[in-house]
Structure 1
Amino acid sequence: MENNALMERVLPLEGVYNFRDMGGLKTRDGRKVKKGLLFRSAELTRMTSSDKKSLRPLNLKLIYDYRDREEAEKNPDPQIGNERHERVAVNGEDKTTARDEWDPETFYKTFTPEKFAQVYKAMPIRNASYQRLMHLFANPEKNVPLLHHCAGGRDRTGVGAMLLLRTLGVSFESIMDDYLLSNRTLVAYHEEMFEEAAHYVSGAQLKRFEKGFILNEQYLDASIDSIFNTYGKFGNYLEKEFGITREVRTRIKDFCLE
């Protein structure tokens, strides 16, 4: 899909970065993901009343939050309409899976693309958050339309989006294009991150962080490779990690594709 067509799926909200409809992407069987069913975004806490008004017609059934308790208490999710809210932390409630990664000082001072790729490598395997997400996705009649999000809507949400879209049969190439779109939708968010980083690192170290923190293919590839190295095929992964059999996958596709 052309970059401009990808950008058309971004909803221009006042208080939320990177809110977009995951619909419109073509699948390998010639269908495409229906619009108005799957949404992704950055954190929702600064959503304005005007934003809420424009989102209510989406009739969301579920908002799924990948953040940990500390993040969610600091920046709570608002209620938009009648949707349910669930939160299961991708990195563990106490950040166990990437503890030193999330202490700001350590994160900025020790950041390398290789280290960040390791976080991506670990994310999709035996992760309680994605297991819960996919359990909910296996019942689309009950849980869709859904919105899933983290803080920036790029890393944890990027992996979640890859799982949802690949389950629907979207090619990895299209998934990667969609993932990298966050570099365009998060320019202001990245600037805020770089300003914060400047409190901890400077000069060449800051430049290295700025260059390495922007999303690139290496990161999502680490998640995808991890799945194939562990399970051989994506279908095996769906079945063993999430209990999503071929029959269940077909039912999800029939609900979400046109």
Structure 2
Amino acid sequence: MKKIALILLLVLQAFTPLTFADASADLMQSYRRLLPLEGGSNFRDVGGYKTEDGHTVTRGVIFRSGAMTSLTQADMEYLDQFDFQTIVDFRSSEERQLFPNQWAAHSDIDVVDRDYSLVASMKSSGDAKDMMKNMGEVYPRLLGNIEPQLQTLVTRLLDGKTPLVFNCSAGQDRTGTTAALLLTVLGVSKDTIIEDYLLSTDFRQTANEQGGVDLVKAAETNEFAKMMLRFSEGHEGPSRPNSLLTPEGRPFLDFTLEWIDAEYGSVEAYFERQLGFSAADIEKLRAMYRH
């Protein structure tokens, strides 16, 4: 009788749906850092890194990405398993118009964005080639462009509106800077943060970032498309990801971190004095997003 009961129990277990915890564990095992998306570019988990005081940044709650304009139906169904609550889109008005995020509308996720012109803010840096030489000026300016969204992002994290993903077009400059700031306040070492920043060159899929848009035609009405064409001069098709290093081997991110240290003394002080978050808020972030 006991044997029959055991067999029945095993049969029932085999056909019992996965619990939420089981499903979440299975989902976490579906990727190491970069999510397996057909139409994604640089969509990855910010978590998993060790902190300098012996903690680990929690996986599965904070993500970063490039433009999500090419996500397939299968991609959207995969991402919906995470039950994302917030998308923070750092892109300018021109970028969002050119490469819309269909997943956000499809899944009815709360989107944080802001109308501004990236092209206008970059004009004083000269042409595309000059811009690449002037990253010491460009990178701190990028931070100024995204500060309103950055404030909202941190507020959403404090309110537990997660999982959350933040993105720009390539997922490396504005997004890379944001990831670096968050990882810094969570206690990750600078060496690890720089390593994470440089992964974008490996993880980007530039064709997916452009979503099959005809840039030549789009450039008739869209200034960001014109800028992209200038960057791609001499290349056929989507360009390869550009290096995030100066010719001397210095990561562009260094310029922003150096500027923050010079102006505020530390990233934590920048969060407090410029973004308006208290030391208690920073401690709350650490308590919520690391273990």
1:46 aligns with 2:65: no
Look up the match of 1:205.
none
Cα drift, residue 219 of structure 1: 0.6
Of structures 1 and 2, the larger Rg is shown by 2
Contact 1:109/1:201 (CA < 8 Å) preserved in 2?
Answer: no
Cα 1:251–1:199 shift into 2, 3 Å: closer
CA distance in 1, matches of 2:180, 2:148: 16
CA distance in 2, matches of 1:100, 1:251: 39
Look up the match of 2:184.
166
- Given candidates 80, 99, 123, the residue that maps to 1:56 is 80
1:129 aligns with 2:159: no
- Given candidates 167, 172, 178, the residue that maps to 2:196 is 178
* TM-score normalised by structure 2 residue count: 0.72
1:214 aligns with 2:243: yes
CA distance in 2, matches of 1:100, 1:184: 30
Contact 1:138/1:249 (CA < 8 Å) preserved in 2?
Answer: no
1:98 aligns with 2:116: no
Look up the match of 2:163.
145
Cα drift, residue 178 of structure 1: 0.4
Could you tell me which amino acid in structure 2 is paired with residue 144 of structure 1? T
CA distance in 2, matches of 1:230, 1:66: 23
CA distance in 1, matches of 2:171, 2:232: 23
Cα drift, residue 63 of structure 1: 0.6
Look up the match of 1:231.
264
5+ unaligned residues in a row in structure 2: which ranges?
1-30, 211-227
Contact 2:112/2:149 (CA < 8 Å) preserved in 1?
Answer: no
CA distance in 2, matches of 1:177, 1:100: 30
Identity %: 29
Cα drift, residue 21 of structure 1: 0.7
5+ unaligned residues in a row in structure 1: which ranges?
1-6, 203-208
Look up the match of 1:88.
114
Deviations for 1:5-28, whole angstroms, at most 9, x for unmatched residues? Answer: xx9300121111111011101112
- Given candidates 100, 125, 132, the residue that maps to 1:112 is 132
Cα 1:87–1:198 shift into 2, 3 Å: closer
Look up the match of 1:247.
280
Contact 1:22/1:39 (CA < 8 Å) preserved in 2?
Answer: yes
Look up the match of 1:206.
none
Cα drift, residue 87 of structure 1: 0.9
Cα drift, residue 173 of structure 1: 1.1
Contact 1:60/1:82 (CA < 8 Å) preserved in 2?
Answer: no
Contact 2:206/2:240 (CA < 8 Å) preserved in 1?
Answer: no
Cα 1:244–1:22 shift into 2, 3 Å: same
Cα 1:198–1:94 shift into 2, 3 Å: closer
Q: Structure 1 segments of 4 or more deviating over 6 A?
A: none
Look up the match of 2:20.
none
3-state SS in 1 of match to 2:107: coil
Cα drift, residue 110 of structure 1: 2.9
CA distance in 2, matches of 1:93, 1:197: 17
* TM-score normalised by structure 1 residue count: 0.80
